[in-house]
Structure 1
Amino acid sequence: MAKMQVMEEPAVPRDRDREADHRIGNSLAFLAATMRFESRRISSVEEARLALESAANRLSAIARLHRIMGQIGRGEEVQLLPHLEELSEVLSQSLDIDVFVNGVDIPVPADIAGALAVVISELATNSVKHGHADGGTVVGVTYRVSKAGILIVDVGDNGHGLPDGFDIHDTTGLGMTIVNSTVQRHRGKLTVEHGHGASYRIELPI
């Protein structure tokens, strides 16, 4: 007697899968928009090269964020030091600069770790574009946690510093716009110090 075939019902996507798909879709749309924006500002081969490197680093940073979220979920934690050390190696190779990280290994929420990857990538790219460092660009990243539970991250370079009157919250540059929006989205604070080299401080509640 022939066996009756049982039709399997199609799998219903889990909430986490739907959230991941939505997040990835938004990220790809964001990357496409930034590439169109930068393409309108390119006027030389060197600017085109830097624009492509910027796009590649944004893609790498966002890919890291989605990989972290996919592995452990939004509400869980990752160890910050190996996360930033891996990021520094990627930036050093892609931008042909030296990136150093100094801090103790601490657990931080996954979304904070991903946000830092985006912010540091943009600041390092800005150092290459605008720092004009003599003898090669060097970027240093140091961090600590305050007694109030605030993650304080300092990012500085060895360039010629920021121009007089520079307002980090009033800029039309794409990189700084991304940095500002990322920090604000995580209820953080962004400040800048003027002097030798560009120096930024990011404060994020964890």
Structure 2
Amino acid sequence: ETAVLGAVRDITPRKKMELALRESEDKFRKLAEDAQVGVYLHQDGIFRYINPCFARMFGYKIDEIVGRLGPVDFCHPDDWPLVARKIEARYRDEEAKAHYNFRGVRKDGSVRIMEVYGSRTTFQQRPAIIGMIMDVTAEKERERKLQASLKEKEVLLQEIHHRVKNNMQIISSLLRLQARQANNPHFEQLIQVCQNRIRSMALIHEKFYETSDFTKIDFNDYARRLLSYLLAIYIKDEKQITLDIGIQDVFLDINKAIPCGLLINEIVSNSLKHAFPGGKRGTISLKMRRTNHQEVELIIADDGVGFPPKFDLHKITSLGLQLVKDLVRQLGGHFELIQRRGIEYRIYFQG
């Protein structure tokens, strides 16, 4: 008697998986084919897949590349060591993903700047590299032109600050010559005050000329140079006055730096002229920091003789102290005048 023995197995799950895989592959291929960036997959140094955009980017047809050419054929010789290291690192799992630029060579020999993103994958159960590539030559050229334009503007700004500083020095020299011709000690003193104010502004432009950052200047170096200049002008014995300067990371733009520099000039000049009569020894301190409220706190103090009795700040008539009030107002700030052992100005403004 003849019999047939067979086995039946339900392969529905497997068929569903195969169908899902085909659908996934179709979706990926559709997405890659329509992409406006180059999409590629290479294995063993040969491209196994590229999309139409990749082919157009390098001036080839797809069948001229797939299965025939590899990354080395599209890379400038000088950049190939970098590209080869990046590929090898991904094959060795030292680098999961890579993002870098290199010079690509088109079929006609022209060179373009390429930006590539790549990662390791599996193709036919073996390691491969999949990624995207874009021609960024135009973007890089725009960046280069922008950088060149910025450099030209930096040079121009430096030249402007340099010329302003020089013009201020010329004005100061003309005032000095005029003062000598007048042969009047009081007039000479007035001219010296004007020269100091000009010098305080010229130093700002000098600092901007010396720095590569035209948005702000470091006030620590500026204040030290200004106070050293004023000390040399007003004090003959360098041991008579001690300067105590402490400025903690205060940077100001030119709109704040010039009135602040003039403010320091007025207060310190006043101390040097009046606080230490008869060669009296003493200290002038200048402290500057940012508060927790992001205000700039400027404290200028001396331990000299102080203001005369019954002094009323609101009834002042001297140009120097009037300038102090006006400059603080220009900074959008406020100040306190404290008379202890000498005089102390506490000035606050947004900077």
TM-score, length-scaled by structure 1: 0.69
Partner of residue 113, structure 1: 257
Of 289, 296, 303 in structure 2, the residue corresponding to residue 144 of structure 1 is: 289
Unaligned runs of 5+ in 2: 1-155, 236-240
Partner of residue 11, structure 2: none
Using the aligned pairs only, state the percent identity. 20
TM-score, length-scaled by structure 2: 0.43
Partner of residue 51, structure 1: 190
Partner of residue 3, structure 1: none
Q: Quote how far apart the aligned CAs of 1:179 are.
A: 1.2
Q: Which amino acid aligns with 2:224?
A: E
Partner of residue 102, structure 1: 246
Aligned-CA RMSD value: 3.3
Q: Quote how far apart the aligned CAs of 1:67 are.
A: 4.2
Of 255, 262, 272 in structure 2, the residue corresponding to residue 128 of structure 1 is: 272
Mean Cα deviation higher: 96-105 or 147-156: 96-105
Of 83, 99, 104 in structure 1, the residue corresponding to residue 222 of structure 2 is: 83
Q: Quote how far apart the aligned CAs of 1:69 are.
A: 6.3
Partner of residue 11, structure 1: none
Q: Quote how far apart the aligned CAs of 1:98 are.
A: 4.1
Q: Quote how far apart the aligned CAs of 1:159 are.
A: 1.1
8 Å CA contact 1:192, 1:200 repeated in 2:
yes
In 2, Cα distance between equivalents of 1:159 and 1:57 = 21
Of 152, 156, 162 in structure 1, the residue corresponding to residue 307 of structure 2 is: 162
In 1, Cα distance between equivalents of 2:210 and 2:335 = 29
In 2, Cα distance between equivalents of 1:68 and 1:119 = 17
Task: Give the 3 Å change call, closer, same or farther, for CA 67–99 of structure 1 in structure 2.
Answer: same
Structure with more of its chain in strand, by fraction: 2
Q: Quote how far apart the aligned CAs of 1:160 are.
A: 0.7
In 2, Cα distance between equivalents of 1:181 and 1:69 = 24
In 2, Cα distance between equivalents of 1:165 and 1:202 = 23
Unaligned runs of 5+ in 1: 1-15
In 2, Cα distance between equivalents of 1:60 and 1:169 = 29
Q: Deviations over 1:3-22 (max 9, x none)?
A: xxxxxxxxxxxxx99xx8xx
Q: Deviations over 1:111-146 (max 9, x none)?
A: 222222111111112113322355245321011211
Q: Which amino acid aligns with 2:257?
A: A
Q: Which amino acid aligns with 2:199?
A: S
Q: Deviations over 1:52-72 (max 9, x none)?
A: 432221110122244456778
Task: Give the 3 Å change call, closer, same or farther, for CA 163–106 of structure 1 in structure 2.
Answer: same
> For 1:198, what is the secondary structure of its paired residue?
strand
Q: Which amino acid aligns with 2:344?
A: S
8 Å CA contact 2:248, 2:290 repeated in 1:
no
Q: Which amino acid aligns with 2:234?
A: L
Q: Quote how far apart the aligned CAs of 1:171 are.
A: 1.1
8 Å CA contact 1:131, 1:197 repeated in 2:
yes
In 1, Cα distance between equivalents of 2:329 and 2:285 = 22
8 Å CA contact 1:65, 1:111 repeated in 2:
no
Q: Deviations over 1:29-68 (max 9, x none)?
A: xx99xx9xxx9xxxx84x5554343222111012224445
8 Å CA contact 1:143, 1:154 repeated in 2:
yes
In 1, Cα distance between equivalents of 2:335 and 2:187 = 29
8 Å CA contact 1:65, 1:115 repeated in 2:
no
Greater C-alpha Rg: 2
Q: Deviations over 1:138-175 (max 9, x none)?
A: 32101121111111111111211122332334311011
Task: Give the 3 Å change call, closer, same or farther, for CA 48–100 of structure 1 in structure 2.
Answer: farther
Q: Deviations over 1:161-192 (max 9, x none)?
A: 12233233431101111111111011011210
